[in-house]
Amino acid sequence: MRKGSQSQNEMLKGTLDMMILRTLVGGDAHGHTIAKVIERTSEDLLEVEQGSLYPALHRLQDRKWVSSYWGASENNRKAKFYRLTAEGRKQLVRETSRWRQMTRAIGLVMGEEGGAQ
């Protein structure tokens, strides 16, 4: 927990699933890529803790939102790839709209014009 503060990390917990799904929209990826993409796109504000990444990936797989297969990584190493399923795509849409409502609501309460975007 070098960069992310306590609060950021807790927020991450609830939204990690959603962010993983979002990351996979761009194409199949393995755990390392997923974590890296999330970190990069959040301009390194968020740090994905591996302790929650892998249980989250397994959870998503149990719910049939992602599927997995073993393949070779870009560096030609054996890695487990995750792919978004049709069901996962639907879930992502649902989660995203809920997230937007939520942030808007919070933004309103916090006095930001037109909510946060």
Partner 1 sequence: MSWFRFLHRRQSDAELQDEMEAFLAEETADNEARGMSPSEARRQAQVKLGNQQKVRESLWVQNSPQPFTMIDREVKYAFRTLSRTPGFSIIAVLIMALCIGAATSLFTIVRSVLLRPLPFRDPGRLVMLYEFHRGAEAGTQDSRYRPVAPGDFYDWREKTNGFEDMAIMRYAGYSLTGEHGELPELVRAATGSWNLFQLLGVQPALGRGFTQSEDQPASTIVMLSWNVFERRFAGDARIVGHQIHLDGKPFTVVGVLPSWFAYPDARIQLWVPYQSDVSTEFLRAHSHHQSKVIARLRRDMGLANALAQVGALQYQLHLQYPHDPVYEDVAPRALNEDLAGNVKKPLRLMLWAVGCMLLIGCLNIANLLVARGAARQKEIAIRNALGAQRAVLIREQLMESVLICGVGGLGGILLSISATRFLARAWKDLPTAQGIHLDSAVIAFACALIFAATLVAGLLPALSTTSKRIMAALQTSARTASSNVSRTALRKSLLTAEIGITVVLLVAAGLLLKSFLRLRASDLGCLTKNVLTLQYNLPDNRFDTPEKLNAFNEALLERVRTIPGVRSVALGNSVPGAGYWGDFSFTVKEHPPLAAGEDLPSGLARWADPGYFTALGIPLVGGRFFASDERGSRSYKVIVSRQLAQQYFAEDNPVGKHLQVPAHPHPKAPGESDYEIVGVVGDTAYHVGQEPKPTIYFPVFEGDQNGLMLAVRTSSDPLQFSVPVQKQIASLDPELPVSDVLTMDQVIGSSLVNASLSATLVLAFAVLSLLLASVGLYGVLSYLTTQRTTELGIRMALGAQRDQLLQLILFDGLRPALFGLGLGLIGSVATTRIFQSMLFGTKPLDPMVLTGVIATLLAVALLACLAPAWRASRLDPMKALRTE
Structure tokens at 29: 């990826």
- With CB under 8 A as the contact rule, the residue among 44, 55, 97, 101 that binds partner 1 is 55
CB of 68 to partner 1, least distance (A): 9
Question: Interface residues for partner 1 in 75-114 (CB under 8 A)?
Answer: 75, 77-80
- Residue 99 · residue 18 · CB < 8 Å: yes
Question: Interface residues for partner 1 in 11-50 (CB under 8 A)?
Answer: 30-33, 35-36, 49-50
Greatest Cα pair distance, the chain, in angstroms, is 50
Stretch binding partner 1 (CB under 8 A), from 12-20, 52-60, 90-98, 109-117: 52-60
For residue 59, give every residue at least 6 positions away whose Cβ sits within 8 Å of its Cβ, in sequence order, or none.
17
Closer of 74 and 113 to partner 1 (Cβ) = 74
In our burial notation (b when 16+ CB lie closer than 10 A, e otherwise), range 21-36 reads: bbbbeeeebbbebbbe
Q: List the beta bridge partners of residue 72.
A: 78
Closer of 79 and 116 to partner 1 (Cβ) = 79
CA 46/CA 105 separation, integer angstroms: 22
Stretch binding partner 1 (CB under 8 A), from 55-63, 85-93, 98-106, 107-115: 55-63
If one asks whether residue 73 binds partner 1 (CB under 8 A), the answer comes out as yes
